[in-house]
């Protein structure tokens, strides 16, 4: 078989497993890939060309054992790439997106070949560093990082060499000072989620009311609100919405003009994925948390800090903000905080927690807000699902928020 059959025209060059033409000693022992006689564009990721020992291609081009071992690095204090190519690849190159990042191939361990600052594998390295100014150190595996102590090891769960991975994914020296796993039910330390959705140190007995009688007046379930009464979820009538963090607010998330009047973004995990990792993702077991290369705490904004600001929006790991303020991976995972499930004849629960006779009625949803909890000076804003629109209708006693499907003309 000649070189041309391997897609390489230069004498002595073969097609390596990363798709590029190189001298045979630059390949890592993988059988040359037989391809058509076409040119390979350097830097183009193409298909997944990771070796079998590390078959998963991470978004930045790093090869790992699985997706759970793709490391997470803090956001650089200064942008490493220009706005035209904002994505930083593992090898230090800038790309439009992770799909354009080249596979990061390790140097072969023979003939004195080593990783050079320019990213190439050679016995003699030129004095050129191609890493960006914010990630100036070139690791042996070819990655560009801020300093030598951030170089990860494949044999160490992709934590730095002298560190081990904690239950939440943070890497720490010898496992010391591992942060405790955060509560995944939305409640604060020392409290638990009770049956009515509130967070309490000790849960009391919750009064249950059917969906047809959603108000509690003097201990009796009622169809109408009353002065000093409560909702079936334990909230006051003036603040009827039970949020994912256990508090009661006037409006669901995204509604109302004042941040203090609506549900705040809250990281919540469900029973299938009960462990909340340090990057804000939910997994079934702590061993599936991705390694986080951060000596302090990885904040929701991607920064590494000892003091993280309050969550102002949902992180990229759970980007959907549900009406109750919980952050989820998809809209389908949004759940209501009703104290009781829907009952016949309105036994179907819609995305916002309301009870309807069937799914069709959920497409035209009328939410009633008491006029006492809403003033005309406030501006109601919302982000409707694709294909839906909303309008406001005020009556003498109530304000109606109509959410309905758009009609194409």
Rounded to an integer, what distance in angstroms lies between the CA atom of residue 285 and that of residue 333? 19
β partners of residue 388 = 405
Q: pTM for the complete prediction?
A: 0.67
60 contacts: CB under 8 Å, gap ≥ 6: 87, 88, 89, 90, 98, 101
β partners of residue 56 = 64
Work out the burial of residue 346: count CB atoms within 10 Å of its CB; fewer than 13 is exposed, 13-18 middle, 19 or more buried.
middle
List the pLDDT tens digit at each of the 409 positions of the chain: 334 444 566 665 666 655 667 665 455 433 333 332 223 333 333 445 788 888 899 999 999 999 999 999 988 878 888 999 999 999 999 999 988 998 888 888 778 888 999 998 888 999 899 999 888 999 999 999 888 988 999 888 999 988 999 999 999 987 678 988 889 999 988 898 888 889 999 988 877 787 788 788 888 888 887 877 888 788 888 888 999 999 999 999 988 888 899 999 999 998 889 999 999 999 999 999 999 999 899 998 889 998 999 898 898 899 999 999 999 998 888 875 443 445 566 666 554 455 667 666 655 543 333 333 433 333 333 334 444 455 555 444 444 455 555 444 3
β partners of residue 171 = 165
Per-residue model confidence (pLDDT) at position 9? 66
**DSSP secondary structure, 353-407, as one string:** S-EESSHHHHTSEEEEEEGGG--TTSPP---PPTTEEEEEEE-SSEEEEEEEE--
Alpha-carbon separation of residue 286 from 168, 180, 281, 294 (angstroms) = 6, 12, 11, 18
Nearest to 83 by CA among 98, 96, 66: 96
**Across 187-331, where does the E strand assignment appear?**
192-193, 199-200, 215-217, 220-222, 230-231, 241-242, 248-249, 266-267, 275-276, 282-283, 297-298, 304-305, 320-321, 326-328
Torsion over CA: 19, 23, 24, 28 (sign): negative
Contact predicate 92/101, CB 8 Å: no
Rounded to an integer, what distance in angstroms lies between the CA atom of residue 33 and that of residue 29? 12
β partners of residue 392 = 401
Give the start-to-end residue ranges of the domains of the chain.
Answer: 59-161, 348-405
Rounded to an integer, what distance in angstroms lies between the CA atom of residue 358 and that of residue 351? 12
SS3 16: coil
Tokens of 192: 């638990």
Give the side-chain half-sphere CA count within 13 A for 318: 29
Pairing of strands 320-321, 326-328: antiparallel
Per-residue model confidence (pLDDT) at position 343? 57
Nearest to 370 by CA among 215, 206, 263, 210: 215
Give the side-chain half-sphere CA count within 13 A for 209: 20
SS3 327: strand
Contact predicate 229/240, CB 8 Å: no
Per-residue model confidence (pLDDT) at position 299? 92
């Amino acid at each position: 078989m000649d070189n041309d059959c391997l897609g390489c025209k230069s004498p002595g060059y073969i097609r390596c497993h990363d798709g590029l033409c190189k001298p045979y000693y630059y390949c890592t022992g993988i059988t040359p890939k037989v391809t058509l006689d076409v040119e390979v564009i350097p830097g183009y990721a193409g298909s997944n060309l990771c070796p079998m020992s590390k078959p998963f291609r991470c978004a930045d081009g790093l090869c790992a054992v699985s997706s759970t071992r793709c490391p997470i690095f803090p956001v650089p204090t200064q942008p490493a790439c220009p706005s035209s190519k904002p994505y930083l690849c593992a090898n230090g190159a800038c790309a439009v997106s992770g799909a354009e990042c080249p596979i990061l191939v390790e140097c072969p361990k023979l003939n004195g070949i080593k990783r050079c600052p320019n990213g190439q594998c050679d016995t003699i390295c030129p004095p050129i560093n191609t890493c960006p100014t914010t990630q100036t150190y070139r690791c042996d595996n070819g990655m560009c990082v801020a300093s030598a102590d951030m170089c990860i090891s494949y044999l160490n769960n992709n934590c730095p060499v002298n560190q081990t991975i904690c239950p939440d994914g943070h890497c720490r020296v010898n496992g010391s000072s591992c942060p405790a796993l955060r509560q995944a039910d939305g409640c604060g330390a020392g409290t638990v989620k009770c049956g009515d959705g509130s967070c309490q140190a000790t849960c009391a007995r919750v009064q249950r009311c059917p969906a047809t009688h959603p108000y509690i007046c003097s201990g009796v379930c009622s169809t109408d609100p009353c002065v000093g009464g409560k909702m079936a979820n334990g909230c006051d009538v003036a603040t009827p919405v039970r949020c994912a963090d256990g508090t009661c607010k006037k409006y669901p998330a995204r509604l109302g003009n004042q941040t203090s009047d609506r549900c705040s973004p809250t990281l919540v995990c469900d029973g299938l994925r009960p462990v909340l990792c340090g990057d804000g993702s939910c997994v079934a077991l702590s061993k599936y948390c991705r390694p986080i290369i951060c000596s302090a705490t990885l904040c929701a904004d991607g920064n590494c800090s000892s003091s993280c600001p309050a969550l102002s929006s949902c992180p990229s790991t759970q980007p959907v903000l549900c009406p109750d303020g919980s952050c989820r991976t998809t809209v389908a995972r949004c759940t209501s905080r009703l104290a009781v499930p829907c009952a016949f004849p309105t036994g179907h629960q819609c995305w916002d927690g309301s009870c309807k006779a069937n799914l069709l009625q959920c497409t035209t949803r009328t939410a009633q807000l008491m006029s006492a909890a809403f003033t005309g000076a406030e501006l109601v804003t919302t982000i409707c699902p694709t294909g839906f629109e909303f309008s406001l209708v005020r009556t003498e006693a109530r304000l109606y928020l109509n959410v309905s499907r758009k009609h194409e003309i």
